[in-house]
A and B are shown apart, each in its own frame.
Chain A
Amino acid sequence: MNTESLGTIFLNAALVNNFVLAYFLGICPFLGVSGKMETATKMGGAVTFVMIISSMCAYGIHSLLVAINAPFLQLISYIVVIASTVQLVEMFIKKISPALFKSLGIFLPLITTNCAILAVALFQTSKGYGFLQSVVYSLGAGAGFMLALVLIAGIREQLNFAEVPSISKGTALTLFIAGILSLCFMGFAGLGA
């Protein structure tokens, strides 16, 4: 059982060990949709939402697997449950709010293969968090993901008007920016200590 306070967990997940900038998780959507501020915000919101739900599910599955003593099924059940959760969420949003579905729609299938979601489930298990701790952890991870995405999107929007060498256009440039941001985020280290 882990006894970290909820505030520490949130700060650690969002800033100190930012999922994108310190663990390199969720890079694929990070490179793909960080071109525009608006899409970045929406994607960040969608990921945070799915993260919280799948974190709760993962907590339930883990308790169940411990009860029946089958740790080797962990990965396979996590991935199946997360994939089906995303499907369910997609159908649910479609039914409840077609407007929201329209703006989020294309991102939801992308989220299934977002490693950050699975990573939240795996990390919270290996750290031994309780239910509330897990939820706060996923909230922090989602907030951190969104923060990184929005920051990069803002910088990239400005950079559209800059003249850069032709070979550095696209992915390479985004990676350089991410590297510099990652250095900045190192300044947050020690916050949780």
Chain B
Amino acid sequence: MSSDKQKVTSTDEFIKGLWRDNPVFVQVLGMCPTLAVTNTAENAFAMGLATAFVLLMSNILVSLLRNFVPKQVRIASYILIIATFVTVTDYAIQAISVELHKSLGAFISLIVVNCLILSRAEAFASKNTVGRSILDALGMGLGFTFALFCLGAVREILGNGSIFNMPIFPEGYQSWIVMILPAGGFFTLAAWLLVINKVQTRKAKS
């Protein structure tokens, strides 16, 4: 990944996750939560923030312990660290809103197996300083949240005629129910990927 560590500026460390290496749109990582809980903008946003928090905390701890953990047990220790923070997040969300916790359900626990977090711990935090790991996690986390929000917003607007539970279409709007159904998740992500592919091929040409 970041092979030229020395040349990369701190701002770049932050920016890369937002767009150029966006975890969802470009790297297609962490798909399970991406699709399952993006039926409304609110759920998508909450899920994105929860993942970003776990990513940030585990990146910090992995980076702090990087000289202490022997190579052979590093993956096991990462999983342990990530599972810890996911459990903490799970309780935090419950304490914030039982309603939200119910609508996200088991998918909070499933952040544990989000490939994005493990891959950032392995590819970045284990080789870089705490400061850089924080920037990396913030960038990637916000990029992830942004992508989830894009999916959730499109699905809620088309499927429910609202955004953040506020109706935006005039009375009589026939909502596209298919967008809230699981199939809508596949279609929306596929459509976003098409848009991004188009933008990138155009950029490559010019």
Alpha-carbon distance A173/B201, docked complex (angstroms): 17
Q: A28-B31, A83-B79 given as contacts; is B189 within 8 A of A175 (CB)?
A: yes
- Chain A residue, CB-CB nearest to B114: A115
A168 touches B185 (CB 8 A): no
A114: B residues at CB distance < 8 A = 113
Asked whether, in the complex, the Cβ of B190 is within 8 Å of the Cβ of A179, the reply is yes
**A24–B189 alpha-carbon span in the complex (Å):** 12
A21 touches B193 (CB 8 A): no
Q: Is there an interface contact between B183 and A179, defined as CB atoms closer than 8 Å?
A: yes
A35 CB to closest chain B CB (Å) equals: 15
Q: How far is the CA of A123 from the CA of B184 in the complex (A)?
A: 23
Q: Which of A7-15, A36-44, A72-80 contacts B (4 or more CB under 8 A)?
A: A72-80
Bound together, the chains give a CA A54 to CA B74 distance in angstroms of 23
Q: Is the CB of B32 within 8 A of A27?
A: yes
Contact of B32 among A26, A123, A178 (CB under 8 A): A26
* Smallest Cβ-Cβ distance to B113: which chain A residue: A115
Tell me the complex Cα distance, A118–B113, Å.
Answer: 8
A177 and B31 CA atoms in complex are apart in Å by 16
Contact with B along A115-139 (1 / 0, CB 8 A): 1001100110010000000000000
- Looking at B29, B109, B194, which has the most chain A CB atoms within 10 Å of its CB? B109
**B198 nearest in chain A by CB position:** A167
Cβ of A85 within 8 Å of any chain B Cβ, yes or no, is no
Chain B interface SS verdict (over half): helix
Flag B109-131 by CB within 8 Å of A: 1 or 0 each: 11011110010000000000000
- The answer on a CB contact under 8 Å between A186 and B193 is no
Q: How far, in angstroms, from A95 to B184 measured CA to CA in the complex?
A: 45
In A125-176, the 8 Å CB interface with B consists of 126, 166-168, 171-173, 175-176
Q: In the bound complex, what is the Cα–Cα distance between A24 and B155 (angstroms)? A: 16
* Nearest-Cβ distance from residue B32 to partner chain A, whole angstroms: 4
Size bracket, chain B contacts: 35 or more
- Chain A proximity of B195: nearest CB distance (Å): 9
Give complex CA distance A146, B31 in Å: 18
Contact B187 A176 (CB under 8 A): yes
Given contacts A175-B189, A175-B190, contact A113 B118 (CB under 8 A): yes
Docked CA distance A23–B83 (Å) = 21
Q: Binary interface profile of B, 175-206, with partner A (CB < 8 Å = 1, else 0)? A: 00010011111110110011001100100000
Known A113-B118, A183-B178: A75·B32 in contact at CB below 8 Å: no
CB distance from B177 to the nearest CB of A (A): 11
Interchain CA distance A12-B189 in the complex, whole Å: 26
B201 and A126 form a contact (CB under 8 A): no
Q: Are B185 and A24 in contact (CB under 8 A)?
A: yes
A sample of 21 inter-chain contacts (CB < 8 A) reads A24-B31, A24-B34, A24-B35, A27-B32, A28-B31, A76-B83, A76-B84, A79-B112, A79-B113, A80-B80, A83-B79, A113-B118, A115-B113, A119-B110, A167-B194, A168-B194, A173-B190, A176-B186, A182-B182, A182-B183, A186-B183
Apart from the given pairs A119-B106, A172-B197, A175-B189, 11 other A-B contacts in the complex at a CB distance below 8 Å: A21-B182, A24-B32, A28-B32, A72-B87, A76-B84, A114-B113, A122-B110, A126-B106, A168-B194, A180-B183, A183-B181
